[in-house]
Chains A and B, each alone.
Chain A
């Protein structure tokens, strides 16, 4: 008998791992460079942000963030002289550009709108989706297959294809530029995804669990809350992330249906005008801040997400 070092059939070899790693790095670079660029732009001064050739090394400035949150007006040197000395660092920064702060910008409001509409519609989509998925999975719903197909079919065209009818409908019923209108719209788009994803998760939970609870004296609703929901946590988390990402990033409907009260951040950010055109550092700052909530949400639910994406393929 001779001893040989056996290669494992399942563990990847060194070369495979190297190639796989390289591909991941390349992919990461391709996707990260634009993000990194917009992140850096947020810390440039307006002249640096449009200089050519583009500056990779520059002196960081918070001007973009200050501009993002304020509106400013240019004043004559005489007026500037007459003012008391600036109280804060950002006032000083603005005055160095021969301007004074006229008031807060609309960014805070728009950001809050995004939070309300994004999380509101996510909650509603997942809530409705959970109930519908449970019903489709467990009860004899008449025409269940047709209904499921109908729900799925709402995703077969790009949502924007129905933008005009929705625009007209919303204007008629007074939902244009309202939070409720946007929440309903995003929920309507997301609920099909939510029903289908969650139905997969409910199907995976053996119905014996609820039957045992029913026999033990629980009602159907109690059994659902105590037995099914805890086991659906993973699916609900994954679905919530998908729904939030859609609602958070949605641009076209928001541009068309909102203008003031309920305008979300995506249509607002690219319209930030500085002196002599778009204020790129402020836009960079806005995008950076805009990315944060989804990033945090995704990181918090990360371990569920991985299983969510591969659901059905992996057994616990």
Chain B
């Protein structure tokens, strides 16, 4: 495992800037998640590290060595693709053994067998080794795809939304397993996703990408509680942060240059109110069992927040909503601290 550094990386496809002056350093043994919507440059960043694309500008170093011009085979990285990574003409065993059988590596066959069986055991697909890779369920296929990376001990594992094609239950299971395996192997992982739960649960650090730029990077806690701007604030939190113009929501200590206020569930105080003190109306309550989503109309704006299912609020009620504390943003969406 090694440190991987990107410095000032840019990549342009035709007229679109996929990655724009991106710098990032991943420490050995660290699990970094890049979070961003489709088209933010997440996959391109991975492909640049893997050597599947060459940057127009900037340098990639792995363990101190400049690999910017090195072809993929020479970089010692492993890649888990979003889909299509299993070879349909090979068995599960042969799929897992494929990276070890590369002519560049020359691993003896009995060692290949040992490694493959060990990895298959770790991923709980040991009993499927002789199956054709096309006869697996979606979850099993994705385990094999991850296994194909794990049979090697590369400098870094690059994972491109490996769980996105799975259903919610499987995704939750594999999320936990992946984190467990990463701790076990002390692996360096750069993981790309648009799923904030994956980012929050697995990452040591989360990098938020927007239009090819790294907007902010920090621990999940930092990104959640201390976002640099309104874009980052909107990436994390379920339901997502309510951004309203200043003045709509009563709040203490509003900074003078504040343009908008960002209020998450934990910032809001909601109470039943009479006609004189009410400033909002509870439009609708979604009962999710363990929690309730409240859809509130305040002035011309709407906000969504969580509430204790035991609360006695009812749809259509007049309520008073206040922010106890909140995040403030200036006209450009920059956070005012």
Contacts and interface: CB of A to CB of B under 8 A. Distances in A.
A209 B90 CA distance: 12
Contact of B102 (A208, A217, A231, A316): A217
Interface string B118-161: 00000000000000000000000000000010001000000000
Nearest to A218: B102
B72 A214 contact: yes
Interface stretch (B74-82, B232-240, B265-273, B289-297): B74-82
B115 interface: no
A181 B83 CA distance: 47
Contacts of B73: 214-219
B88 A218 contact: no
Interface string A212-235: 111111110010000100110000
Contacts of B81: 208, 211-212
A4 to B, nearest CB: 36
A193 to B, nearest CB: 25
A12 B99 CA distance: 48
Given A206-B84, A208-B84, A222-B103, A214 B71 contact: yes
Nearest to B77: A215
Count chain B CB atoms within 10 A of each CB in A209, A211, A215, A219 and give the residue with the most.
A215
B86 to A, nearest CB: 9
Contacts of A217: 73, 99, 102-105
B225 to A, nearest CB: 37
A211 B104 CA distance: 16
Contacts, number: 61
B284 interface: no
Contacts of A215: 50-52, 72-73, 75, 77-79
B87 interface: yes
B85 interface: yes
Contact of B79 (A211, A227, A316): A211
Nearest to B98: A216
B99 A216 contact: yes
B85 A230 contact: no
Contacts of B83: 208
Interface of A: 206, 208-209, 211-219, 222, 227, 230-231, 316
Interface of B: 50-52, 71-73, 75, 77-79, 81, 83-85, 87-89, 98-99, 102-105, 148, 152
Kindly list the 7 A-B residue pairs having the minimum CB-CB distance in the complex, ordered from nearest.
A217-B102, A216-B99, A217-B104, A206-B84, A230-B89, A214-B72, A208-B84
Given A216-B148, A218-B103, 8 more contacts: A209-B84, A209-B85, A209-B87, A211-B72, A215-B73, A216-B73, A216-B99, A231-B88
